[in-house]
Structure 1
Amino acid sequence: MPRLSYVFTIFFLTLGPIKTIPTFYRLTQAATPKFRNQVALQSGIISTAVCIFIAFVGRNTLAKWQISLEALQLSGGLILLLFALKVITMQPQPMGGQKVTADTPLSKTFALALSPLTTPVIITPYGVVAILFYMVVAQGNPALEWKILAFIVLMMGLNYLGIVFADKIMKVIGIPVLLLVGWVFAIMQAALAIEIMLGAFNRLGVIHIPSNP
């Protein structure tokens, strides 16, 4: 059974609000409060529904394809590592032009909530891998499944709160601090990715990792 603190960390790094807040702020900083609130609510509902869909339908599909847990560990760890390295080596980019103005109609909120917010900002490729991996691990253990699902819902709730308070958060923290936090989390993600791949090699008998005393 995986450590729940470890699961929470992985989900926070892959599905959490750190990446969502600056994107939403950049896109909607000129929008009306009503527009921003509607986008926040819609993206929260859509992203939660998509995550639950991935958790059950994706896991069942993997089972039908008979994909091993080790294969999922290696592919997931590699994806996590590649995206972490991309963040670490990426040069800071200036915030782009405003995508939404005060004149943008409310009918445009759903499209914005769906893309780019739900995908690929909130639900990242490596977030999908994390959901699939832990749902496969939890298969046959209803108590663990519910805890995994609770973590997923919690992450979507944190994204919602991050979006709602994005303007206040950005004014207090600012871009430089947020970039620094992003780099720190990317380094943590890279380390966790390597840990996941080492775990797969250990399960396959390629290497031996002694158990903690």
Structure 2
Amino acid sequence: MELFDPRLFSEVFITLFVIMDPPGTVPIFLGLTGAMTGRQRTRAARQAILVAFGVIAAFALFGQNLLDYMHISLPALQASGGLLLLLVAMELLTGKMEEPAPSGNTGVNVALVPLGTPLLAGPGAIVATMVFVSGSDESLSDWVSIGTALLAVHVCLYLSMRFANLIHRVLKDSGVILVSRIAGLLLAAIAVQLVADAVRAFIEAG
């Protein structure tokens, strides 16, 4: 019996890589962590990856049962994620994300929300993973292939954010502020698209 399915691995990896977009997270990550030191930024990246991996893995295993139990539809999950990202985008555009919190725990907060979820472990990645799991025959080979692909994508995400420190040194503070504004625009567009897709799904379901 085979323990690994290269075709399934490639399908899951490519799909999640496109949805989670490791290169595209760099400007948003820099915008959200602009007030942090290099060490804090590295810790935030590591925490965000662990949170994102844990959330997606949990939804892959128990997501459909949880949503059914709470009577939550996938479009509702998508809309809520879009609204949360829109709030974060407004903070980036107005510069509030660049102000360090009095407690000094900005790294922890940013790593959990919005970096870990819903930016990395967003509705798109969650739904895609749930679709792959439901479409598999739940054999050991399929679980290993899906799990390995999920892990590989998160390694790519971590590397992209880990080397954001180098980008920060090149851009300096003024460059990071500019990137933050651009990231805010991009994040706002992503948020609006998520909400629009959710509304369309609600209309089609009705």
TM range (shorter): 0.5 to 0.7
Alignment partner, residue 175 of structure 1: 177
Alpha-carbon distance between aligned partners in 1 of 2:190 and 2:47, rounded to the nearest angstrom: 28
TM superposition shift of 1:138: 1.6
TM superposition shift of 1:190: 1.4
Letter in 1 for 2:99: G
Aligned CA-pair RMSD: 4.0
Contact kept in structure 2, 1:27 and 1:99, CA below 8 Å: no
User: Do structure 1's residue 25 and structure 2's residue 34 form an aligned pair?
Assistant: yes
Contact kept in structure 2, 1:16 and 1:122, CA below 8 Å: no
Question: What is the aligned counterpart of 1:134 among 122, 128, 149?
Answer: 128
Percent of aligned pairs with the same amino acid: 10
Alpha-carbon distance between aligned partners in 2 of 1:18 and 1:99, rounded to the nearest angstrom: 24
Alignment partner, residue 53 of structure 1: 54
Contact kept in structure 1, 2:28 and 2:180, CA below 8 Å: no
Alpha-carbon distance between aligned partners in 1 of 2:44 and 2:53, rounded to the nearest angstrom: 14
Specify whether residues 59 and 3 from structure 1 end up closer, same or farther in structure 2 by C-alpha distance, changes over 3 A only: closer
Alignment partner, residue 96 of structure 1: 99
Matches within 5 A, 1:1-213: 7-8=16-17, 10-12=19-21, 16-28=25-37, 36-37=38-39, 39-65=40-66, 67=68, 71-86=72-87, 92-93=94-95, 95-96=98-99, 113=107, 115-125=108-118, 127-130=120-123, 131-140=125-134, 141=136, 142=142, 143=145, 146-171=148-173, 173-199=175-201, 202=204, 204=205, 206=206
Alpha-carbon distance between aligned partners in 1 of 2:46 and 2:147, rounded to the nearest angstrom: 20
Alpha-carbon distance between aligned partners in 1 of 2:109 and 2:185, rounded to the nearest angstrom: 22
Aligned residues: 184
Query: Over residues 30-84 of structure 1, what are the superposed CA-to-partner deviations in whole Å (9 max), with x where a residue is unaligned?
Result: xxxxxx24x344334333333222222233232433629x944212321233135
Specify whether residues 170 and 147 from structure 1 end up closer, same or farther in structure 2 by C-alpha distance, changes over 3 A only: farther
Specify whether residues 25 and 185 from structure 1 end up closer, same or farther in structure 2 by C-alpha distance, changes over 3 A only: closer
Contact kept in structure 2, 1:59 and 1:135, CA below 8 Å: yes
TM-score normalised per structure 1: 0.61
| Structure 1 residue ranges (4+ consecutive) displaced by more than 6 angstroms after TM superposition | 1-6
Alpha-carbon distance between aligned partners in 2 of 1:72 and 1:134, rounded to the nearest angstrom: 15
Letter in 2 for 1:53: G
Specify whether residues 9 and 73 from structure 1 end up closer, same or farther in structure 2 by C-alpha distance, changes over 3 A only: farther
Q: Secondary structure at the match of 2:36?
A: helix
Alpha-carbon distance between aligned partners in 1 of 2:199 and 2:12, rounded to the nearest angstrom: 17
TM-score normalised per structure 2: 0.63
Alpha-carbon distance between aligned partners in 1 of 2:30 and 2:180, rounded to the nearest angstrom: 9
Specify whether residues 79 and 53 from structure 1 end up closer, same or farther in structure 2 by C-alpha distance, changes over 3 A only: same
Letter in 1 for 2:189: I
Q: Secondary structure at the match of 1:77?
A: helix
Specify whether residues 121 and 85 from structure 1 end up closer, same or farther in structure 2 by C-alpha distance, changes over 3 A only: closer
Alpha-carbon distance between aligned partners in 1 of 2:74 and 2:127, rounded to the nearest angstrom: 7
Could you say which structure has the higher helix fraction? 2
